Structure 1
């Protein structure tokens, strides 16, 4: 039989109802024979092939036996295996030593055992795909209250993703020169780019200078107390990346991003409409509250309409499904990358994600550990930066200096460990405006007025100002970046040049 055939058909099985799962026994025999003749052939398939991938259980059993012996450093051949096959009833029934000799003879035309191994593996994936499809069909025919249609779809997507992950036969070690070439390509792209950054630019100049942009495969945590503006900052950064997006066609004809990024935004707290409203307010420079309530004069409405027409073609994709599991998020992000391209992923916020299992773990720290590991793995798999927002504990409020620290991260151990960058957003103005001095008992008018004037002066100095505290950066320095903040339009921006101050001290 020709080795390229996918199915060995029995006589009279032309009827579609009698279709057999895809397999190729001859390819399996040829691969086993090649390993018997030359044990080095095993190492070409050892990384991705297992006994369970063979369609014939006997072939799978023999492959596992060969693998065990070769891994122990033993020489395996039809002669050395003679005792083994004669003591195993299944092998004895298949022909014993004569069967092994037949396998060795079947390998005479094998040129590359790796190709045969990949063929066996690919046919295994097709059989698994058929089984998965049958499970989906049977599940849809038997709906239950415990598994809604959407939940069944998510389960099917997860199984497909897992099957695709199993199907990856590439990977392993890279030669240093290959990694070096990739690094030089990234450096050349940064040199030719206007901002001269290796990562995705946030549009906030001092932050880009400190971080070098948001780097591929990095997990970036942006944390802050409520009302500090972490969602606004993440939205601003995402919008700036999308606005700068520019692509060219590579040698294979596929589009390649040369600046900016296609952005996927998982908003587990706010609706897509609310996010769109924020971006509209920021770009039109009109209060988001006025837009939401319809309190616009004619000229303002015309301005909002014109801005909306400019923004409608941006490559920003929002998923506002609440209570997503990390597995569902991973599946949707992977699908977005495949269908639309993806250069930056934003998750708002990670404490609202659920772990993959149906039952929640008793230990919330373990749940957060699973979520942060999943986000870091996703960043590496998709080769994009993942910007995940996080809450801070109330410990911040108990201190006189309310600037956040790494220890303030909720369930901080796993978040701090898995993150490549940890940033905090902090607005002193927020706390000052809520701490107006009151007269103390037996305090003189002069002393009270001095304290009140000092408070007013401090409020004026911090009005419209914010800080981004880079408390951890795996690839570079830490420090403080000072930004402008306009609360009415939820916009973070670069400070005017005359107001910029040097970066804060390293942590």
Structure 2
């Protein structure tokens, strides 16, 4: 028996039966679809250690995208030393979907009992005067936050309730801002789907290193179409809070902040121009400060649980004062401190994204998560499948925005473009723009280029040929 399960065996409901676990694994061997409904389940919840290991192995295999029956059985043979015949017998038990639902309900009840047990143990610690009260309280908060964040927070509605909701929506149409937030760039909004940066969902901005993902994210943050009572929370594991704030102010004001805050920047412009730019920067910074619109957390080591706890805490604080936390930016996925002690990095990253997604759904917050991409994305159209360490994360997204930096020599000067490619749009419709969106650095600030994608493509091709000719390739 799994040692962790043995310790909490008394928490299992009395109607628990071993055949139920066998049936669940048998079902998953030939159909992994139900895994999405058992998001909070782990192998150590199984009473049978072999079946628990099998469950974790199947989840890991699903994350890698290899889910045909033969590959699953072959992997289980290698991982557990049980022969093919054993797993074929499991499939017999898995034919009954009702049994699958039963074990899911049983183990969900186990999760609730487990949470209550944690609370009892924590209360006992707090009652003991020899214990560190502060440490015990922090442990309690972290553990319970982890347990609650893993639960699937979606509510179940009957068809009658859904029908009533639809009829109400027909009679009382709502503004598009109820479903998502505009990036401030209509071209990009159109590319990522009808809900734009969807509330209650995660949008990933991905790019290989030094290709402009943070620049694009900060530009979007500085141009968000938020209501006066809506707030933003930023997690910046790479940039300091000061640099992040300056970048956002620059994007919102249309002025590169270093031009008016450094001697080198001021030397390159006239006094009149400097005064004009100072006024723009001051106005933008003043608006952000007066509205207390943005909070920046620049901790360099932060876990998924820390992120979810902070989001919930900030949401509660804003709610008490009549405001709403609406937008969260996380820079970036691969700087989050993810525990890979008991599972592969691929699986652990997907679970971290799921945990953050659940929090976004619970609070109806739009989350933009930055991500590094594999090197194979260099020089090609970046897509969700290129996400570093865990391409399966694409199944958790509402949209992916891949960013690619391209420098082009035009005449006697160089122009820097950032091309944004939308992919994996869950809310795409007939109005969704299928063309990439071309941004350009103009006066030190990222803006949508006026040349358009087709003209940019012709310019890029001509530039490539010119480079090849210069290198003697023609």
Could you tell me whether the CA contact under 8 Å between 2:236 and 2:331 is conserved in 1? yes
Q: CA deviation at 1:130?
A: 6.9
Structure 1 unaligned blocks of 5 or more: 1-56, 73-121, 144-148, 248-260, 433-454
1:262 — aligned with what?
Answer: 231
1:308 aligns with 2:285: yes
After superposition, the Cα gap between the structure-2 partners of 1:196 and 1:280, relative to the gap in structure 1 and judged at 3 Å, is: closer
1:158 aligns with 2:137: no
Q: In the TM superposition, what whole-angstrom CA distance separates every residue of 1:414-454 from its partner, at most 9, and x where no partner exists?
A: 2223223111012322xx4xxxxxxxxxxxxxxxxxxxxxx
Distance in 1 separating the partners of 2:184 and 2:390: 28
1:219 aligns with 2:202: yes
Distance in 2 separating the partners of 1:163 and 1:129: 11
Q: CA deviation at 1:268?
A: 1.2
1:337 alignment partner, SS class: helix
1:382 aligns with 2:363: yes
Select the residue among 479, 482, 488 that pairs with 2:434: 479
Distance in 2 separating the partners of 1:416 and 1:167: 20
1:336 aligns with 2:319: no
TM-score, with normalisation over the residues of structure 2? 0.59
1:492 — aligned with what?
Answer: 446
Could you tell me whether the CA contact under 8 Å between 1:347 and 1:388 is conserved in 2? yes
1:404 alignment partner, SS class: coil
2:436 alignment partner, SS class: strand
Distance in 2 separating the partners of 1:428 and 1:303: 29
1:474 alignment partner, SS class: coil
Q: How many residues align structurally?
A: 340
Distance in 1 separating the partners of 2:297 and 2:389: 25
After superposition, the Cα gap between the structure-2 partners of 1:130 and 1:415, relative to the gap in structure 1 and judged at 3 Å, is: closer
Q: CA deviation at 1:234?
A: 1.2
1:201 — aligned with what?
Answer: 182
1:372 alignment partner, SS class: helix
Select the residue among 404, 409, 416 that pairs with 2:382: 404
Distance in 2 separating the partners of 1:405 and 1:387: 16
1:468 — aligned with what?
Answer: 420
Could you tell me whether the CA contact under 8 Å between 1:205 and 1:494 is conserved in 2? no
Select the residue among 214, 220, 223 that pairs with 1:240: 223
1:113 — aligned with what?
Answer: none
Q: In the TM superposition, what whole-angstrom CA distance separates every residue of 1:87-126 from its partner, at most 9, and x where no partner exists?
A: xxxxxxxxxxxxxxxxxxxxxxxxxxxxxxxxxxx9x999
Distance in 2 separating the partners of 1:218 and 1:320: 23
Distance in 2 separating the partners of 1:280 and 1:265: 14
* Larger gyration radius, structure 1 or structure 2: 1
After superposition, the Cα gap between the structure-2 partners of 1:184 and 1:402, relative to the gap in structure 1 and judged at 3 Å, is: farther
Distance in 2 separating the partners of 1:459 and 1:366: 46
Q: CA deviation at 1:283?
A: 3.4
After superposition, the Cα gap between the structure-2 partners of 1:279 and 1:166, relative to the gap in structure 1 and judged at 3 Å, is: closer
1:415 — aligned with what?
Answer: 393
Distance in 1 separating the partners of 2:316 and 2:447: 32
- The 5 A counterparts of 1:36-435 are 131-133=121-123, 135=125, 141-142=131-132, 155-161=139-145, 172-182=155-165, 193=175, 198-210=179-191, 211-212=193-194, 213-241=196-224, 244-247=226-229, 261-291=230-260, 293=262, 295-296=265-266, 299=275, 300-312=277-289, 313-340=291-318, 341-355=324-338, 357=339, 360=341, 363-397=344-378, 401-429=379-407, 432=408
Q: CA deviation at 1:208?
A: 1.4
Q: CA deviation at 1:188?
A: 7.9
Could you tell me whether the CA contact under 8 Å between 1:390 and 1:409 is conserved in 2? yes
Q: CA deviation at 1:204?
A: 0.9
After superposition, the Cα gap between the structure-2 partners of 1:186 and 1:317, relative to the gap in structure 1 and judged at 3 Å, is: farther
2:255 alignment partner, SS class: coil
Q: CA deviation at 1:390?
A: 0.5
Distance in 2 separating the partners of 1:208 and 1:307: 23
After superposition, the Cα gap between the structure-2 partners of 1:404 and 1:152, relative to the gap in structure 1 and judged at 3 Å, is: farther
Could you tell me whether the CA contact under 8 Å between 2:181 and 2:226 is conserved in 1? no
Q: In the TM superposition, what whole-angstrom CA distance separates every residue of 1:120-142 from its partner, at most 9, and x where no partner exists?
A: xx9x9999757535535769954
Could you tell me whether the CA contact under 8 Å between 1:186 and 1:198 is conserved in 2? no
Distance in 2 separating the partners of 1:239 and 1:322: 23
Distance in 1 separating the partners of 2:333 and 2:220: 18
TM-score, with normalisation over the residues of structure 1? 0.55
After superposition, the Cα gap between the structure-2 partners of 1:302 and 1:311, relative to the gap in structure 1 and judged at 3 Å, is: same
Q: In the TM superposition, what whole-angstrom CA distance separates every residue of 1:447-495 from its partner, at most 9, and x where no partner exists?
A: xxxxxxxx645976xx354321012112215733324332664x43344
- Which fold has the larger relative contact order, with Cα–Cα distance below 8 Å and residues 6 or more apart in sequence? 2
After superposition, the Cα gap between the structure-2 partners of 1:182 and 1:331, relative to the gap in structure 1 and judged at 3 Å, is: farther
| Superposition RMSD in Å | 4.4
Distance in 2 separating the partners of 1:130 and 1:200: 42
Structure 2 unaligned blocks of 5 or more: 1-9, 21-111, 319-323, 458-474
Distance in 1 separating the partners of 2:383 and 2:150: 40
